[in-house]
C-alpha cells in the first residue's frame, strides 16, 4: 500500500481543524489518534518510500499534538502562524519591577517565605494564563505576545524556586 505525503502546511490543516485558540481537546485527541493509525511506520515496513513518509508524518503528528494540546504553545503557535508581528515588544516596567523584586526575594529565600512566594507566583501565573486565553480568543496578537513573554518570566521564576 502506497502512502501519500500528508498536508503539513500547518498543524491545524494537518488535523482538518480551523486555526483557532478554542479547540476541543477531545476533537484534537481523536484527530491525533486517527493520524497515529494512518501513519504508524510498522504498517509500511515493506515499502521503504512509504515507511519514510510514515516516520516523518508520525513525528509531525506527535509534535502537532503536543503543540496544540498546551494552551501556551498553541497561543504561541497561532502568533507564528497568523500574526504579522515584526517588532519586539517590551514588557511593562511595572511587571519587570515586580519580577525583579520576586527574583531578589528568591535570592534571600528561607522556609518562612517560600510558600508565600510560591503562592504569589502561582497567582500571577493564573492571571497571566487568563489574559493569554482572553487575548488569543480575541486574536489580539500584540497583547497575546506580551502575556506570553510574561509567562516565560514566570516559568523561569518557578524553576528558580524549585532549584
**What's the predicted TM-score (pTM) here?**
0.86
Which residue ranges make up each domain of the chain?
11-69, 93-162
Structure confidence at residue 1 (pLDDT): 62
On the question of a common fold for 11-69 and 93-162, the answer reads: no
What is the per-residue pLDDT for 4? 87
Sign of the Cα pseudo-torsion (99, 101, 107, 110, in order): negative
Q: What is the pLDDT of residues 85-106, one digit of tens each?
A: 766 678 889 999 998 998 888 8
Percentage with pLDDT > 90 across the chain: 71
CATH number of 93-162: 1.20.1280
Query: Greater confidence, 59 or 116?
Result: 59
Domain 11-69: CATH superfamily is: DnaJ domain (1.10.287.110)
Given 3-state DSSP classes, what are the helix, strand and coil percentages for the chain, each rounded to the nearest 5?
75, 0, 25
Axis-axis angle for helices 48-69, 25-38 (nearest 10): 170
pLDDT at 87 (0 to 100): 65
The pLDDT, as a whole number, for residue 150 is 94
Amino acid at each position: 500500500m502506497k502512502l501519500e505525503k500528508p498536508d503539513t502546511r500547518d498543524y491545524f490543516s494537518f488535523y482538518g481543524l480551523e486555526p483557532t485558540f478554542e479547540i476541543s481537546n477531545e476533537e484534537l485527541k481523536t484527530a491525533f489518534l486517527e493520524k497515529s493509525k494512518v501513519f504508524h511506520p510498522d504498517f509500511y515496513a515493506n515499502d521503504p518510500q512509504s515507511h519514510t513518509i510514515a516516520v516523518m508524518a508520525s513525528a509531525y503528528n506527535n509534535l502537532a499534538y503536543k503543540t496544540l494540546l498546551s494552551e501556551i504553545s498553541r497561543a504561541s503557535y497561532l502568533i507564528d502562524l497568523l500574526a504579522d508581528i515584526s517588532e519586539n515588544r517590551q514588557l511593562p516596567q511595572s511587571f519587570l519591577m515586580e519580577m525583579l523584586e520576586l527574583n531578589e526575594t528568591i535570592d534571600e529565600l528561607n522556609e518562612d517565605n517560600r510558600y508565600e512566594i510560591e503562592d504569589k507566583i502561582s497567582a500571577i501565573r493564573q492571571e497571566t494564563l487568563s489574559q493569554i486565553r482572553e487575548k488569543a480568543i480575541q486574536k489580539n496578537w500584540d497583547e497575546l505576545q506580551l502575556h506570553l513573554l510574561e509567562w516565560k518570566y514566570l516559568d523561569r521564576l518557578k524553576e528558580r524556586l524549585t532549584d
